[in-house]
Structure 1
């Protein structure tokens, strides 16, 4: 005849099986790590306050976004000053309103610079995407080398070279303007030309330094997530400099 447990016996058996000593409290169930491969990196077992790789990447992207938003406001102020100065003038001896803005001819090399910068944005994206390719990341996690780094490295070098070509081209454009007697103080239009191209060039030099740091990071940094963040943030900054230049170059060519 099968054993029959009374309600009290059933409750007592449940407490004993769950590790309850009868004090009225049940201990929390020990949740086993799932999907962590035994390394303790699962969501359930993370230390309080820690961040996952995706959260860290999002945080860095937001930092780049706010920094670039400040740059956007800065360039917007310059553009507003450009249009205000373009329409302003003075009263001459004959009581006539004279506008002293004289448009300058844009050096042709700036068109080639623009093409180089657009190509550099393409190569930068080709360098960024392999860093997040799932199959390459999986191979690295399994200890099969650094396939994502090997694929990204040539494109990152190409981006660096295109960026250096752009900066050298800007210097050549300044030299050509100087030879045609368009110095910084010769005319308000030339002053804004040097100001706009110089400030953007300084930002691009910062981008070139970031590219150099990214290249060094691909060699020196062992953690894949850190290398992904370095390349990704550099790419966002570089793409933004390309967008800024397209707008500023259109301003210099068509708005004078």
Structure 2
């Protein structure tokens, strides 16, 4: 069997993700709330609800990828009708451990920024936000180095499903981090403006921290799967 499962999972997951995100951008819950409440009090809750719905969508996406991964592993182990002969297990790059530490510290820094903004510490909020983004950028650079290591390893082959799944799982996670960094950049830029009160960026920092913690948990799960298989 070729890489049909991996590529089908990637295409289907991206399609589902794109459709659901487009629907979420319409924010139907805000329209309902505006009709019911007639005020802006629900807006904060609406953003939180929107984030949690988005995280549920992302969770479904990663579950789809992992299901395809284990299905393919099952064929490799002979649990299907025929054992897959094209699967060659790869040695996970040791830099992934260092990358994991970077992402953990990035999440800690983001939580620290959340605490700082709640305490109205302007300078500390900016510094900790910057540190969180910098650590996350370092994580992505480390992931790129891991991809290069796999690329030049003896077991690399475009026809090896283990290689394909490694790139798919880590790349999709990296893309979600890049999306988070876009929001992080906007939040940091707003916090640096003199005409913006710190309270105006408090919600953005809070929701960004939730997103960072979530992606850290996702990465820890993916890393555990890669190590165990």
TM-score (norm 2): 0.76
The alignment yields a C-alpha RMSD, in angstroms, of 2.1
Q: How many Å apart are 1:89 and its aligned residue? A: 5.3
Who is 1:50 aligned against?
A: 39
For residue 96 of structure 2, the aligned residue among 106, 110, 114 is 110
Change in Cα spacing, 1:97 to 1:227, as seen in structure 2 (3 Å) is: closer
Q: Within the alignment, does 1:67 sit opposite 2:67 as a pair? A: no
- Structure with more contact order per residue of length (Cα contacts < 8 Å, sep ≥ 6): 2
Q: Which runs of 5+ in 1 are unaligned?
A: 1-47, 137-147
How many angstroms apart in 2 are the aligned matches of 1:105 and 1:169?
Answer: 16
Who is 1:99 aligned against?
A: 84
How many angstroms apart in 2 are the aligned matches of 1:207 and 1:184?
Answer: 31
Who is 2:163 aligned against?
A: 190
Q: Within the alignment, does 1:159 sit opposite 2:135 as a pair? A: no
Contact 1:160 / 1:211 at 8 angstroms: preserved in 2? yes
Q: Which has the higher helix share?
A: 2
- CA shift digits 1:214-239 (9 cap, x unpaired): 11010236144321111111111111
How many angstroms apart in 2 are the aligned matches of 1:194 and 1:169?
Answer: 14
Who is 2:225 aligned against?
A: 251
How many angstroms apart in 1 are the aligned matches of 2:90 and 2:99?
Answer: 18
Who is 1:25 aligned against?
A: none
Who is 1:145 aligned against?
A: none
Q: Within the alignment, does 1:208 sit opposite 2:181 as a pair? A: yes
Contact 1:118 / 1:242 at 8 angstroms: preserved in 2? yes
- CA shift digits 1:81-114 (9 cap, x unpaired): 00101111599xxxx9433222110000000000
Who is 1:43 aligned against?
A: none
Q: How many Å apart are 1:131 and its aligned residue? A: 1.4
How many angstroms apart in 2 are the aligned matches of 1:152 and 1:160?
Answer: 12
For residue 71 of structure 2, the aligned residue among 84, 101, 116 is 84
Give the greater-gyration-radius structure (CA): 1
